[in-house]
Chains A and B, each alone.
Chain A
Amino acid sequence: MAKMNPPLDTLVTEIQINTEGDIVLSRRAVREYTIFLGFGVTDTARIVTAASELARNVFKYAGQGALYLRSLEAPGKIGIELKFVDSGPGIPDLDMAMTDGYSTGGGFGMGLPGAKKLMDEMEIQSVVGQGTTIVLKKWRNS
C-alpha cells in the first residue's frame, strides 16, 4: 500500500462509548484511521488492540466516555493519537493499575500495561471521583 500524506489537521474523529457495541465501533474507527495514515498490518493490529483494551475499560469502569482520534505530525514522521476521556470513578492507584496482572475488574489485568507496551507513548490523568483521560500515541515507521 502506498503511504499517503493526508491533510493532517482536518482529521479529528470522535466516537462515543456508551454501549458494549461501541467497543467494536471504536476498533473499526481506529483501524480505518490507522490504515488511512499508512500504518502497516502489524502496527495496525497493535494500535487497534490497545484501543480495544482501553475502550473496554471506559465502558466497564466508567459506563460511558469518548474516544478522540487525531493525526500527529512531527519532523520527518506522522503518527496517531488516541484520547480516551471519561468522567467515571477514576483510578485510585495508578502504579497498581499499571502492574501486569493487577485487575479490579475481573480481567487479565492487561488493559493499561498492555496498551502501554503496544504504543509508543502513554499519558494518564486520573482524579478519583472525577474521571480519567488517557492519551496514547504511535508513530509510523517510515
Chain B
Amino acid sequence: MNNDQITVVKVRGVLMVILPSDPDDSSIQSLQDRAMAGLEQHDSKALIMDISAVEIFDSFFARAISETAQMATLMGARTIIAGMRPAVAITATQLGLALKCVETALTTDQALAMVDLGRKRGWRK
C-alpha cells in the first residue's frame, strides 16, 4: 500500500492538502512547493491541511507544516489544520512544538465551515 503520498485538491475554492499517515521526508519537503503552487494556480484564499490520518508528528514535520502556513499567509491565504489525532496532539505539546500562523479545526468539515463563515462575514472572498 502506498501511504506516503500527499494529495492536493481544490474543493469549492479551498485548497485542500491531505496528508498520509506516515509521509517520508521528501514527501514532507514537497508539501510547501505543492501547496504554494496550488494556491497560485487556483487563486485560493484558504488552505486546509487534513492531518486526520497522520499518526506521527515530529519536529521535522511540524516545521514543514508551520512554514507552509507562514508562506500561505504571505500569499494571502488563511491556513487551517484539521483533524489532529489526540495522541498526536499530546505528543506535539509534550515535545513543545508550536505552530505559527495556523488555525485549527477538529475535522475538515468544521474547517470548511470556518471558511464559509469567513466568506459570509466578508473577511475574504
A interface vs B, CB < 8 Å? 20-21, 23-24, 27-28, 31, 41-42, 44-46, 48-49, 52-53, 56, 100, 107-108, 110-111, 114, 117-118
Would A20 and B26 count as touching, CB distance under 8 A? yes
Within 8 A of A (CB), among B44-78: 55-60, 62-63
User: Are A49 and B4 interface neighbours, CB within 8 A?
Assistant: no
A20 to B58, CA, bound (A): 15
Closest to A41 in B: B87
Inter-chain residue pair count (beta carbon < 8 A):
69
The secondary structure that dominates the B interface is helix
B-to-A contact residues, CB < 8 Å? 4, 22, 24-26, 55-60, 62-63, 85-88, 90-91, 94-97
Residues of chain B within 8 A (CB-CB) of A27 are 22, 56
Nearest B residue (CB) for A30: B56
15 contacts between A and B (CB under 8 A): A20-B26, A23-B24, A27-B56, A28-B22, A31-B55, A42-B87, A44-B87, A46-B90, A56-B25, A107-B63, A110-B96, A114-B58, A114-B95, A117-B95, A117-B96
